Structure 1
Amino acid sequence: MFFPTILEQEKQKLEQLLKPSHTLCREDLIWILEYVKKKVAEKDPLVLGLPQPRLLMNFHYFSEIAMLLIHRRYTCGPEVETVRAWVKETLDGLTAEDEGISRSS
């Protein structure tokens, strides 16, 4: 019997969350914030390899999502595409697919 590793589970979860057809819910956004927090706390090489301007952009959009949740303003209304864009910016450079990509920001 095959049991996926934690890295495989994270990859599958990220793929699911980033699909345009997936409706992002509050729990998804919290999972994304936890994922980024874990990457930073573990000093993941992907985080350490990001140029400072990219890191600041990631933090900006991470903060936007966090404030949205704090103020309980997230609904599945017209802001869904904006939030989806924030998620992509928050995760830029932090996923296994981004490994090995040279960035010049």
Structure 2
Amino acid sequence: MSIIESHTNAQTERYRRIMNPDHPLCREDIIWMLDFMKKKVADEDPHLVSLPQPLLLRNFQYFAEAAMLLLHNRSTGDEEAERLRNWLGETAYGNGPFPPVT
């Protein structure tokens, strides 16, 4: 079973919705994505453990950027929402949690 198959359809659908540029991002979406990635790290997901360190560091950078945005509680305009959506996508990049969004 691949890592993608190990996730529920609901998780995949939520990820696709979050990454869809037509979907207005909300605080709950951001928290869901960050929590999902936190759980992958805490569970020492085998796919995650096999990633090269530079990719892990880059993913963490984007994870931290998204988390800091939440902590500063700034509202997001269209441009910032798109940047945040990119940060969330980069947080998951290479981790194999979901199929690429097209």
Larger radius of gyration: 1
How many residues end up aligned between the 2 structures? 94
Q: Secondary structure at the match of 1:74?
A: coil
Aligned-pair CA distance for 1:78: 2.8
Aligned-pair CA distance for 1:6: 6.0
Runs of 4+ deviating beyond 4 Å: none
Instruction: Give the equivalent residue in structure 1 for 2:99.
Output: 97
Aligned-pair CA distance for 1:56: 0.3
Contact 2:18–2:85 (CA<8 Å) still a contact in 1?
no
Q: Secondary structure at the match of 2:44?
A: coil
Instruction: Give the equivalent residue in structure 1 for 2:72.
Output: 71
Instruction: Give the equivalent residue in structure 2 for 1:103.
Output: none
Residue identity in the other structure for 1:24: L
The TM-score with structure 2 as length reference comes to 0.82
Instruction: Give the equivalent residue in structure 2 for 1:82.
Output: 83
Residue identity in the other structure for 2:48: V
Distance in 1 between the 2:98 and 2:81 partners?
25
Distance in 2 between the 1:77 and 1:97 partners?
25
Distance in 2 between the 1:72 and 1:83 partners?
13
Distance in 1 between the 2:41 and 2:14 partners?
18
Distance in 1 between the 2:22 and 2:30 partners?
16
Distance in 2 between the 1:96 and 1:33 partners?
14
Aligned-pair CA distance for 1:91: 1.0
- Percent identical pairs in the alignment equals 45
- For the aligned residue pairs, the C-alpha RMSD in angstroms reads 1.8
Would you say 1:10 and 2:24 are equivalent positions? Answer: no
Instruction: Give the equivalent residue in structure 2 for 1:48.
Output: 49
Q: 1:16 to 1:41 in 2, by over 3 A?
A: same
Contact 2:30–2:66 (CA<8 Å) still a contact in 1?
yes
